[in-house]
Amino acid sequence: MRTALWPRRSWPRSVEYVKKRVLRLKATPHAIAAGFAAGVFASFTPLMGFHFILAAFMAWLTRGSIIASAFGTFIGNPLTFPLIWGATYGIGAKILGNHGADHAATHLHEHIWSLKSLWTLILPMSIGGVILGSIGWLMFYFPIRAMISGYQNRRNARIAARNGATTQAAE
């Protein structure tokens, strides 16, 4: 349970690990960026337990990497979910004009098994989630695509230089 809430080493080290794993995926820059961004988008939905499935489906739709989509879902974690849920609910409630919707959220425990009561919470979160998820998709897709493209170009240049040096040495 501890490592789910707080990584063994540190947050910066965990972020660096995920970054290196994403950089080293064997796919096009678009596929990796679209997959990761799909995972970010899925993290903003209220569909707890289905984020991986939704992210994989969205990655497939955008011709993204399904593996990268799994890494993208790490944006949603026990530390960020309260912020994400509050923001998605607030935006969705404003759009729907639910000024009294706060009542449903504060008394959720009384009606947890009522789908009608849950719908008053899920609908605003879904609408807010699509909006914030779309913004998150755009915020992650373009920088990650540029980062992957640069990494792959540098890597290919190193390999070409190494192969050029070995073929010259063999002659």
Q: Write out pLDDT tens, residues 38-69.
A: 999 999 999 888 999 999 999 999 999 999 99
Note if the pTM is more than 0.85: no
pLDDT at 109 over 70: no
User: Alpha-carbon distance 30 to 62, whole Å?
Assistant: 9
Percentage of residues in the chain with pLDDT exceeding 70?
A: 79
Domain coordinates of the chain in residue numbers?
Answer: 2-170
Angle between helices 11-23 and 115-170 (to 10 degrees): 60
Where is average pLDDT lowest: 13-27, 30-44, 120-134?
Answer: 13-27
User: Alpha-carbon distance 71 to 18, whole Å?
Assistant: 7
DSSP-derived letter for residue 74 is G
**106 exposure class (CB count in 10 Å sphere: 0-12, 13-18, 19+):** exposed
